[in-house]
């Protein structure tokens, strides 16, 4: 068949030589781990918790403890309100909230250690009259951002000697550890 292509005399495609284009910047993910982040091991959770207790920053301790207990997404965790966890001056044993991504309710149990840290944090002078459990220092937002939460997780992971590229906010959701 003439003109159908192939070895019997049909047309052939000539090779076109294009110039080589070299990128001006390296790829954004060069030398970075891509894919799923690793979960934290129980000893790593305890190491971070011990460092936060020694540092004397009750907000970060509550944020870390609730992330482990609740397994909430970062966006839901930073939006927790004091009223979600504290009723009549006592911290609830079990909390139910509606997830922002799915719109479905989720219930989680708050460990004794986490309840103690929440009680201490809520009674601190920094929390007087605050609606959100993790208030922002800036007036444009009422609670800390998910980006700030991610920065905190990176710093916690770095402090115990782990590579922060391998861990993220989702690492705290992977297992329930006490």
What's this model's pTM, rounded to 2 decimal places?
A: 0.79
CB of 48 within 8 A of CB of 160? yes
Whole-angstrom distance, CA of residue 50 vs CA of residue 31: 31
Confidence of residue 11 (pLDDT cuts 50, 70, 90): low
- The residues near 167 (Cβ < 8 Å, ≥ 6 apart) are 37, 38, 40, 153, 154, 157
Any domain includes 34: no
Any domain includes 178: no
pLDDT in tens, 125-137: 988 888 999 998 8
Rounded-to-5 percentages of helix, strand, coil across the chain: 40, 10, 50
Any domain includes 13: no
Whole-angstrom distance, CA of residue 87 vs CA of residue 97: 14
Q: What is the pLDDT of residue 18?
A: 80
Measured CA to CA in angstroms, residue 65 lies from 83, 153, 172 at distances of 18, 12, 10
Q: What is the pLDDT of residue 29?
A: 75
Q: Which of 128, 125, 146 is nearest to 79 (CA)?
A: 146
Q: What is the pLDDT of residue 127?
A: 87
Mean pLDDT on 83-106 = 94
Q: Which residues pair with 135 in a beta bridge?
A: 143
Any domain includes 148: yes
Any domain includes 144: yes
Any domain includes 177: no
Does residue 4 have a pLDDT over 80?
A: no
Any domain includes 5: no
Q: Is the model more confident about 151 or about 172? A: 151
Mean pLDDT on 8-12 = 60
| Counts of helices then strands in the chain (DSSP H, E) | 6, 4
Q: How many CA atoms lie within 13 A of 40 on its CB side?
A: 31
Q: Residue 148 is part of which domain span?
A: 42-170
* Number of domains forming the structure of the chain: 1
Any domain includes 93: yes
Mean pLDDT on 15-42 = 82
Query: Which CATH number is 119's domain given?
Result: 1.10.443.10
Does residue 1 have a pLDDT over 60?
A: no
- Distance between terminal CA atoms of the chain? 75
Confidence of residue 176 (pLDDT cuts 50, 70, 90): very low
């Amino acid at each position: 068949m003439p003109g159908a292509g192939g070895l019997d005399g049909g047309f052939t495609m000539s090779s076109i030589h294009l110039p080589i284009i070299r990128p001006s910047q390296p790829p954004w993910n060069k030398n970075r781990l891509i894919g799923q982040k690793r979960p934290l091991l129980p000893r790593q959770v305890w190491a971070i918790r011990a460092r936060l207790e020694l540092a004397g920053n009750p907000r970060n301790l509550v944020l870390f403890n609730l992330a482990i207990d609740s397994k909430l997404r970062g966006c839901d965790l930073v939006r927790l309100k004091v009223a979600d966890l504290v009723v009549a001056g006592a911290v609830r044993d079990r909390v139910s909230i509606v997830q922002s991504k799915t719109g479905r309710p989720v219930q989680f149990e708050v460990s004794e250690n986490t309840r103690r840290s929440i009680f201490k944090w809520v009674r601190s002078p920094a929390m007087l009259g605050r609606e959100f459990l993790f208030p922002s220092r800036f007036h444009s937002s009422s609670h800390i951002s998910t980006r700030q939460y991610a920065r905190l997780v990176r710093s916690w992971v770095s402090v115990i000697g782990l590579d922060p590229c391998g861990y993220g906010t989702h690492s705290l959701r992977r297992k329930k550890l006490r």
